[in-house]
Amino acid sequence: KAKSEGRSTYHFFETGMDAELQQRRSIEAGLRMAMQREELRLMYQPLLGLENNRVTCVEALLRWDHDERTIPPNEFVPVAEDTGLIVPIGEWVLHEACRAAASWPNGVRVAVNLSPVQFRQKDLVGQVRSALAEARLEPTRLELEITESLLLTDSEATIAALHELRGMGVRICMDDFGTGYSSLSYLRSFPFDKIKIDRSFMADLTSRDDSRAIIKAVIGLGQSLGMVTTAEGVETEEQLSLVRDFGVSEVQGFLFSPPLQSSTLANLLHSEAVKTQAKQKAS
């Protein structure tokens, strides 16, 4: 359907009337106002550590409430990247996520997604520093998630920034591992603290032997490189028990928890902390 339409609307595209282009323009226009109108917010998805069944980390996920609907990041982050708007938006995300994390129990870290575009500006490291300082958050409680596409460019400045952040105590995680090109070579370009195995492998874990073999191998690889491994997109008990057997460090997915409103997440962390204190007193 899309293909044949693509041909016939070719001249519309040229005159700027293409539906997709128009949608992009309207997203762009709306996005320029989104920050001052306070239409952006973060949802928080907890990750479960399998060693002690506790929340190890919480990923901040961006949402845009606009025109009576909530727009998911996959629809507007690409536009924000093309227009450079991801730079101020990303800075807001860093500050907001660090502020939230400062009120959580000490053992829980916050994970923030970074776009490659944020690395192209000079002062990403300074922005991270000031977000941490403003929130009075220990750098060791911040994880930054980057994707393989960042390392495609492999610029020296990017690698230097990653080393500087890591030197401060911030953890650097490779997100969506296995979806880019020649993933394995990226593991040599930087000493990541964590590998998050893309959820597409999890989706057909129980139906495809090859996905199972790949997940098992990546978990083993992570272990031998001294990296934490995370299985993304765990939705069923069956998936959980498989990745647990393979020795994965932590799981993220709808089975344990979907992304939550910040107050719901804070309640969850608080009740978990109370339970642990009670257990310690009893023993």
Which does residue 105 bind out of Mg ion, ligand C2E, none, counting CB within 5 to 8 angstroms by kind? Answer: none
* DSSP structure class, residue 255: T
Which residues contribute to the site for ligand C2E (CB under 6 A)? 45, 61-62, 72-74, 77, 90, 93, 113-115, 145, 175-176, 199, 233-235, 252-254, 259
Minimum separation from the CB atom of position 73 to ligand C2E (A): 3
Minimum separation from the CB atom of position 88 to ligand C2E (A): 12
Minimum separation from the CB atom of position 233 to ligand C2E (A): 4
Which does residue 239 bind out of ligand C2E, Mg ion, none, counting CB within 5 to 8 angstroms by kind? Answer: none
Residues pairing with 142 in the sheet = 110
Q: Report the Cα–Cα distance between both ends of the chain, in Å, rounded.
A: 64
Per-residue three-class SS string for 119-164: HHCCCHHHHHHHHHHHHCCCHHHEEEEECHHHHHHCCHHHHHHHHH
Phi-psi region of 233 (alpha: psi -120 to 50; beta: other; left: phi over 0): left
Question: Nearer Cβ to ligand C2E, position 120 or 273?
Answer: 120
Residues pairing with 40 in the sheet = 64
Which residues contribute to the site for Mg ion (CB under 5 A)? 113, 145, 175-176, 232
Minimum separation from the CB atom of position 18 to ligand C2E (A): 24
Tokens of 184: 């394995």
Minimum separation from the CB atom of position 176 to Mg ion (A): 4
Count helices and strands in the chain by DSSP H and E runs: 14, 9
Question: Nearer Cβ to Mg ion, position 131 or 233?
Answer: 233
Which does residue 253 bind out of ligand C2E, Mg ion, none, counting CB within 5 to 8 angstroms by kind? Answer: ligand C2E
Which does residue 116 bind out of ligand C2E, Mg ion, none, counting CB within 5 to 8 angstroms by kind? Answer: none
Residue 269's identity, in one-letter code, is L
Supply the Cα-derived Rg of the chain in whole angstroms: 20
Minimum separation from the CB atom of position 97 to ligand C2E (A): 8
Strands 54-66 and 109-113: parallel
CA atoms within 13 A on the CB side of 275: 9
Which does residue 235 bind out of ligand C2E, Mg ion, none, counting CB within 5 to 8 angstroms by kind? Answer: ligand C2E
Question: Nearer Cβ to ligand C2E, position 235 or 272?
Answer: 235
Strands 69-71 and 54-66: antiparallel
